[in-house]
Structure 1
Amino acid sequence: MTRRSKKVLGLALSFGLLAAACGSDDDGAEAPDDAPAETTAEEPADADEPADADEPADADEPADADEPADAGEPMEEPTGEPFKIGVQNAEGDPNGSFPEYSIAIEAAAEYINTELGGLGGRPIELELCSMVISPDDSQRCANELSAAGVDMALSTLNFFGNHFSIYAGSNIPVIVGTPLTIADFTSPGVFSVGAGGGCLGVHTGLIEFATNQLEELEGIDVQRVAVPWADTPPGVVCYNDLEAKPLDVLNGSEPGDSARAGEKPDLEHIGVPVAPASPDVTPQATEVLSFDPDVIIFSAQGADCWNFLDALGRLGWTPDEIPLVFSSSCTDFDAMRAAGDLAKGIYLVGSSSGLLSPLDSLEGDRLDDATIYQTKGIEYGMTEDDVFKTFASAGFAAMMNIWEIADGLDGEVTAESLAAGLAATDGTKSAYGSTPLDCANAPAPYVAVCNSSVGANIWDGDKLVLVDPEFSGLDLVAGTELRPGG
């Protein structure tokens, strides 16, 4: 266990003991008995699964010389000048609404202020701006938060990327929780810390998995790939640059430096746009199946994924006939159960964090991080339903990543020092809910992405079971030109 894990988990346990000693009847610090027994697409569901190779066993790890003698002693209440974080999040729009993101960020901020001493003694003060999915509203929020004098902005997921220049004009660094757009990947002063690297990591990971690991798992030769894709502004970019392009690298029609370039000269693929919240996607599902694919991959918001699966099923498709690979953004345990046998055997590819996993399936840092998230999230205002949502875990993790950077700084915590700390991450230190952040070595032109590793699971009808804990498809776009629109 790392010093960071001991410190944070020790503090969490200490506060739990204090609450018990005071006779509290609040069960929020305990994992609920009826908590879902599933894990998201990026986490192990087998208690016997070995820890990551780069995660040393606790018993073999020497104690850090500078570790506090009592890591469980509560930190002092933050009394410094508030550190204002502006949160820009889409809510209340059928084209994209993610209230759980805001709820989780608020819970994490309260946890950090109450139990972890804020950011270097400065209490976090949140300024939330809710937006609809429109370019104008994206910029409205950025202008309002800049005018409010926030020290740092946290952009949850934004379909346009037109807000960064506004923050840059006020010298406000930006954290991105779920990167989707070219601007999320390439803007200076932006740190896309979301586990799995958003579209960049997940969509290239989908292609890597569908054309590599899946072949061995299913005993098939993948030469025809159907790609229904979310017909939204970021969906256009993610499909063209991070799905169609790497597929073209594989068949040799797109020049690139990947070790797999030209590996599948006969590979063919089709893209089928799917508008969000479409009531009937039978025509799109028909087009996909008419292509006679060896595999289908799809990344969208949860309801759209299961609406599409239902349409496939009504047309006679089963996962035994044609493998289906979703991104972890599709994770919805209620929908997966409701789909019954139609969902059994589908794969999900996404970040390799572990925050939504059953605690008894985890070890080391992943266990510590998930314990904190699943207990403290509920204790500080999240419902159990919210806790087990992918975007909620992303919001909580982003705040904890900010705290980790602040905790490692020498001297005063400021927007400038936090940005410098993020920029200096080099993949050598563990990060909450994530593989290590590596902003310093982000590959051009994707210079804002600090994390791109993903994992894959299969839904067995009851839970998600790990099939590959960590891999990356980033090499598939190495040395290529940006292709945002086709």
Structure 2
Amino acid sequence: MFRWYRRFICIAASAALVGVVAGCGGSDDRGASKDLSGEPVKISLVGDIDAPALGVTTPQLRDAAVAAVEAVNRDGGINGRPLELTVCNTQGDPNIAAKCARTSINDGDAASVGTYAIAGGATPVFTAARFPTIGNFPLGPEDFDSPFSYPIVGGTPSAGTCSVALLADVVGVKKIGVLYSEAPASAAGNIVLERALSARGLKATRFTALPPNATDLTPYMTEVAQGSDAVVLVMAPVTAARVVKTARGLGLDTDLVSVSLATKQLTELGRAAERLYQCSLLRPASAGGPGIDQMLREMKAANITPDVDDTATNAWLAVHLFAQVAATLDEITPATVAAAMDRLTDGDLSAIAPPLNTTEPFAGTADTWPRLFNPTVWYGQIADGKIALLRDNAVNPFQPAE
């Protein structure tokens, strides 16, 4: 039923179950788990690893989590116990995502980490079971309403508000169009953009929907660019990269802003990526720093070629945050993990994001997004194939521009 993947990562034959890390058996000449003993501490990651129905692939999400788990086990596991990760591919289907969540619960996992499911499906199942999701990438209302949701980043609200703030407050653009992928979370994302624009006395020149499996992006990009000096791309990074390539091919002089693209996507775009504005929810890999350096070292140790974007960094942080919290517990269960997360006031996120305080959301967001704990973002622009920061530090896009 199992075959080896990167020496000690097992992959199940199930179409949805992508991998199990540590505690699979076999040997590891890098010493990842040979000195660990006791019952494994089990966690899961539910993600759109390969979601053709949505035109989305995020293998970097899995790879970053794998690297983090291997590093935790090299450093002694969870108080001497091996940490074991199961990665479940949603395939972009909310029904499969729900099944992934039920499997995690039934298999005795202590928590889920780094969940990224554009079509949803997992969070309601986790919530009904009072099961903690740590570092879930918040895209829809359920992610901000669940008392068992502990996101590290601001997700849709922060990304949308960042895009408008960057264009209007930093670049000085007033005629802003929106091109968004049709998905369950689209409505919430568009509301965020409308609020951010309204706060600045602006309205979108137009909202243009992009069907999930559109092959020719030209008509959509052409439409949204009409009358717009800049366009916000509300979509997964892999889709945004396709749109950028299309816009450059059309010779459009329109400014574009998207969530941070992965290393591989920037490389593939080449010169087409130049001048693209970026809203990063976490410190970009190109900005460096101790936390970024640690993540890249751990990927190298796991024989993983770094392909880093917000989803990857978020998954890496989520694993390490779980390990921090679990190490403080005598008994590691979903209930004890959730209780510990509820008390967290200074969760170490390696300076890639501010320390996580889950005891209260940031001021000004509790009424709308009660589980938004960290709204900060990083403004950037692509220069020479990398994200160059436009501000030295993270900013709160919900606050008025200075």
TM range (shorter): 0.7 to 0.9
Paired residues in the alignment total 363
- CA-CA distance at 1:334 after TM superposition: 4.9
SS in 2 for 1:474: coil
Equivalent in 328, 340, 356 of residue 421 of structure 1: 340
- CA-CA distance at 1:379 after TM superposition: 0.9
Equivalent in 340, 351, 363 of residue 281 of structure 2: 351
Equivalent in 162, 166, 183 of residue 232 of structure 1: 183
Give the Cα–Cα distance (whole angstroms) in 2 for the partners of residues 463 and 155 of structure 1: 24
User: What residue ranges of structure 2 are gaps of 5+ in the alignment?
Assistant: 1-28
Cα distance per residue 1:6-35 (max 9 Å; x no partner): xxxxxxxxxxxxxxxxxxxx9x9xxxxxxx
Match of 1:241 in 2: 191
Match of 2:99 in 1: 140
Amino acid at match of 2:121: N
In the superposition, relative to structure 1, how do residues 269 and 186 fare at CA in structure 2: closer, same or farther (>3 Å)?
farther
Cα distance per residue 1:298-352 (max 9 Å; x no partner): 132233223222332343313xxx3222211x34455456442x43222111123
Amino acid at match of 1:229: Y
1:167 pairs with 2:102: no
SS in 2 for 1:273: strand
Give the Cα–Cα distance (whole angstroms) in 1 for the partners of residues 247 and 106 of structure 2: 48
User: What residue ranges of structure 1 are gaps of 5+ in the alignment?
Assistant: 1-25, 29-73, 216-221, 251-262, 477-486
- CA-CA distance at 1:413 after TM superposition: 4.3
Match of 1:324 in 2: 256
Give the Cα–Cα distance (whole angstroms) in 1 for the partners of residues 203 and 128 of structure 2: 45
- CA-CA distance at 1:131 after TM superposition: 2.0
1:206 pairs with 2:167: no
Equivalent in 88, 102, 111 of residue 71 of structure 2: 111
Aligned 8 A contact 1:276 1:304 in 2 = no
In the superposition, relative to structure 1, how do residues 85 and 106 fare at CA in structure 2: closer, same or farther (>3 Å)?
same
1:472 pairs with 2:391: no
Give the Cα–Cα distance (whole angstroms) in 2 for the partners of residues 444 and 120 of structure 1: 39
After the TM superposition, which residues 203-352 of structure 1 pair with which residues of structure 2 at under 5 Å, given as runs?
A: 203-215=160-172, 222-238=173-189, 240-248=190-198, 250=199, 263-264=200-201, 267-290=203-226, 292-318=227-253, 322-328=254-260, 330-335=261-266, 338-340=269-271, 342-352=272-282
TM-score (norm 2): 0.81
SS in 1 for 2:298: helix
Give the Cα–Cα distance (whole angstroms) in 1 for the partners of residues 204 and 137 of structure 2: 30
- CA-CA distance at 1:136 after TM superposition: 1.4
In the superposition, relative to structure 1, how do residues 309 and 163 fare at CA in structure 2: closer, same or farther (>3 Å)?
closer
Worse-superposed segment, 168-177 or 436-445: 168-177
- CA-CA distance at 1:430 after TM superposition: 3.9
- Identity %, equivalent residues: 20
Worse-superposed segment, 430-439 or 104-113: 430-439
Give the Cα–Cα distance (whole angstroms) in 2 for the partners of residues 77 and 445 of structure 1: 47
In the superposition, relative to structure 1, how do residues 296 and 169 fare at CA in structure 2: closer, same or farther (>3 Å)?
closer
Match of 2:313 in 1: 393
TM-score (norm 1): 0.68
- CA-CA distance at 1:184 after TM superposition: 1.1
Aligned 8 A contact 1:378 1:387 in 2 = no
In the superposition, relative to structure 1, how do residues 128 and 225 fare at CA in structure 2: closer, same or farther (>3 Å)?
same
Highest RCO, 1 vs 2 (Cα 8 Å, sep ≥ 6) = 1
Aligned 8 A contact 2:98 2:121 in 1 = yes
Amino acid at match of 2:370: V
In the superposition, relative to structure 1, how do residues 81 and 93 fare at CA in structure 2: closer, same or farther (>3 Å)?
same
After the TM superposition, which residues 76-155 of structure 1 pair with which residues of structure 2 at under 5 Å, given as runs?
A: 77-94=35-52, 95=54, 96-115=56-75, 117-155=76-114
* Superposed CA RMSD: 2.8
SS in 2 for 1:471: coil
Aligned 8 A contact 1:179 1:199 in 2 = yes
